[in-house]
């Protein structure tokens, strides 16, 4: 029979393992971009392919700040139970042994002593808090603290999402810059080679060759600098994701994708509700906790009632033992006079509450200003983006025109270099304007608690 039950348990455990494996396989099929932290920890450097949404989800699972926020919630749960348990029955036991070392007790008028035998007792003590105003308010405060910890975890998630988005956008910016510089470097190198050949046959001047050589060197330096920026941007994203620095990552979206995907003008038209803002919610939670502190100090004026039951088992009793086996005690502690100490504590708690209420009002004003500024920044960034987009087209047409003229000997290499630098500057300003739009949009959405 025992073997039969062991077999049944083993089969049940095996079925759970198989089911878990099937769920894992189905998850992998549904999300082929997903790489687990366990796989990364085992040293497998499989490429991690992420869009922005997947990057945020990944960070919410493996980012250290998020994990610490989860631990803080667990700690808050433990603190709630600790507070609750202080008002539940408490049981303790102790065993004592006393040896009087041959001492004898003499009755008055008696010449013969009675020996004091060794004694040993087992005491079991059960205590119960019956009423305490401080306990009631303290339990309420602990629950509020837990709710505040959960809200802090939500704020941490928002912060991590914002940081992941910023790191993602910066990678795309750096890679876009690298593409532009690489393409431009190839064109200038071709011009340099052609101009050098023309100089050798006496058609071009040495100044033109030197000027283009300087331009090639400058672009090569810019390309190396951009390479380092790309690596740093990826490292920052890996830090936010909580992955190994050597982990290979591939991003599947571009800056243009986000500019087409996000509805910026809808975000500008969206009303702002303070009650949805995480910072404001945290301040409200803090106000509730501080208000409970006022109530807690007021409860110090109320009496405290406790009950205590003691059961004594006499392992070795004395010759003359009058101690009962069962004792029940009720203890009512009544505060009478504290020379104004309790009143002072209440006043201090009220002052702290009033200070927090002032901070809350200041936060309301600050958030409304931030909201207006965020809308203004997004609006300005959109205008700059449209303007820079036109400037790129104009700068490229100018560069192409100067380039054709240079190849026909109609303009100098200085004119060509100037036109090329203007084009590169326009491209840089353009992609910077794209990033500014996305960053401004992220800031506004964070205020709305909508990342």
87-98 pLDDT tens trace: 899 999 999 888
Per-residue pLDDT at 381: 93
| Phi (first) and psi of residue 297, to 5 degrees | -70, -35
Q: Answer whether 107's CB lies under 8 Å from 114's CB.
A: yes
At 157, list the tokens: 């998630």
| Phi (first) and psi of residue 247, to 5 degrees | -65, 135
220 occurs within a structural domain: yes
| Phi (first) and psi of residue 200, to 5 degrees | -65, -30
309 occurs within a structural domain: no
115 occurs within a structural domain: no
pLDDT digits (tens, 9 = 90+) for 11-45: 333 344 334 444 444 444 434 344 444 334 334 46
> Using CA atoms, how far apart are residues 171 and 429, in angstroms rounded to an integer?
16
CA dihedral 263, 269, 270, 275 (to 10 degrees): 140
CATH number at residue 249: 1.20.1600.10
CA angle (445, 449, 451) in 5-degree steps: 55
CA angle (327, 332, 336) in 5-degree steps: 150
394 occurs within a structural domain: yes
Compute CA distances 25 → 53, 167, 321, whole Å.
Answer: 21, 30, 74
Residues 6+ apart with CB under 8 A from 413: 195, 207, 208, 209, 211, 212, 406
Per-residue pLDDT at 45: 61
Q: Answer whether 404's CB lies under 8 Å from 416's CB.
A: no
311 occurs within a structural domain: no
Total domains in the chain come to 1
Taking the chain, what is the end-to-end CA distance rounded to the nearest angstrom?
58
Per-residue pLDDT at 46: 80
Pairing of strands 119-131, 249-251: unpaired
Longest Cα–Cα distance of the chain, Å, equals 144
Whole-structure pTM value: 0.77
At 137, list the tokens: 């308010």
> Using CA atoms, how far apart are residues 194 and 209, in angstroms rounded to an integer?
9
Cβ count within 10 A of residue 22: 10
29 occurs within a structural domain: no
Rg of the chain, C-alpha, whole Å: 38
Output the 3-class SS for the chain.
Answer: CHHHHHHHHHHHHHHHHHHHHHHHHHHHHHCCCCCCHHHHHCCCCCCEEECHHHHHHHHHHHCHHHHHHHHHHHHHHHHHHHHHHCCCCEEEEEEEEECCCCCEECCCCCCCCEECCCEEEEEEEEEEEEECHHHHHHHHHHHHHHHHHHHHHHHHHHHHHHHHHHHHHHHHHHHHHHHHHHHHHHHHHHHHHHHHHHHHCCCCCHHHHHHHHHHHHHHHHHHHHHHHHHHHHHHHHHHHHCCCCCCCEEECCCHHHHHHHCCHHHHHHCCCCHHHCHHHHHHHHHHHHHHHHHHHHHHHHCCEEEEEEEEEEEEECCCCCCCCCEEEEEEEECCCCCCCHHHHHHHHHHHHHHHHHHHHHHHHHHHHHHHHHHHHHHHHHHHHHHHHHHHHHHHHHHHHHHHHHHHCCCCCHHHHHHHHHHHHHHHHHHHHHHHHHHHHHHHHHHHCCCC
365 occurs within a structural domain: yes
Per-residue pLDDT at 404: 85
At 334, list the tokens: 């009544």
101 occurs within a structural domain: no
Per-residue pLDDT at 337: 85
Positions in the chain whose pLDDT score sits under 70: 1-45, 106-107, 109, 111, 319-320
Find the domain containing 269 and state its range. 46-88+134-300+343-447
Count Cβ neighbours within 10 Å for each residue of 292-321 and write b for 16 or more, e otherwise.
Answer: bbbbbbbbbeeebebeeebebeeeeebeee
């Amino acid at each position: 029979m025992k073997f039969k039950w062991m077999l049944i348990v083993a089969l049940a455990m095996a079925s759970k393992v198989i089911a878990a494996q099937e769920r894992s396989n189905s998850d992998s099929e549904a999300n082929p971009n997903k790489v687990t932290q366990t796989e990364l920890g085992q040293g497998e450097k499989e490429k991690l392919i992420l869009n922005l949404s997947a990057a945020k989800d990944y960070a919410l699972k493996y980012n250290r700040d998020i994990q610490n926020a989860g631990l803080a919630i667990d700690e808050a749960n433990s603190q709630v139970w600790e507070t609750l348990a202080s008002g539940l029955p408490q049981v303790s036991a102790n065993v004592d042994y006393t040896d009087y070392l041959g001492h004898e007790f003499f009755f008055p008028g008696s010449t013969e002593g009675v020996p004091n035998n060794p004694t040993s007792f087992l005491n079991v003590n059960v205590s119960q808090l019956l009423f305490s105003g401080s306990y009631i308010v303290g339990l309420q405060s602990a629950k509020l603290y837990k709710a505040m910890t959960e809200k802090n975890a939500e704020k941490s998630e928002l912060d991590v999402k914002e940081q992941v988005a910023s790191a993602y956008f910066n990678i795309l910016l750096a890679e876009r810059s690298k593409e532009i510089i690489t393409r431009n470097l190839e064109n200038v190198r071709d011009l340099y080679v052609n101009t050098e050949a023309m100089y050798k046959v006496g058609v071009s001047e040495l100044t033109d060759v030197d000027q283009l050589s300087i331009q090639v060197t400058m672009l090569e330096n810019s390309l190396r600098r951009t390479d380092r920026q790309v690596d740093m941007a990826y490292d920052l994203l890996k830090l936010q994701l909580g992955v190994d620095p050597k982990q290979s990552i591939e991003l599947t979206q571009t800056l243009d994708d986000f500019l087409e995907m996000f509805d910026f003008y809808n975000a500008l038209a969206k009303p702002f509700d303070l009650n949805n803002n995480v910072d404001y919610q945290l301040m409200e939670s803090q106000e509730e906790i501080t208000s409970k502190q006022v109530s807690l100090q007021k409860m110090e004026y109320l009496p405290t009632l406790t009950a205590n039951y003691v059961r004594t088992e006499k392992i070795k009793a004395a010759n003359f033992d009058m101690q009962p086996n069962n004792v029940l005690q009720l203890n009512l502690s009544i505060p009478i006079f504290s020379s104004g100490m309790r009143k002072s504590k209440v006043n201090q708690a009220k002052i702290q509450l009033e200070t927090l209420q002032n901070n809350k009002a200041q936060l309301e004003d600050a958030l409304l200003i931030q909201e207006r500024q965020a809308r203004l920044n997004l609006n300005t960034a959109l205008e700059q983006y449209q303007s820079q987009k036109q400037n790129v087209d104009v700068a490229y047409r100018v560069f192409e025109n100067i380039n054709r003229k240079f190849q026909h000997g109609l303009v100098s290499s200085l004119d060509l270099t100037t036109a090329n630098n203007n084009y590169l500057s326009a491209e840089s300003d353009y992609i910077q304007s794209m990033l500014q739009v996305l960053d401004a949009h992220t800031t506004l959405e964070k205020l709305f608690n909508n990342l």
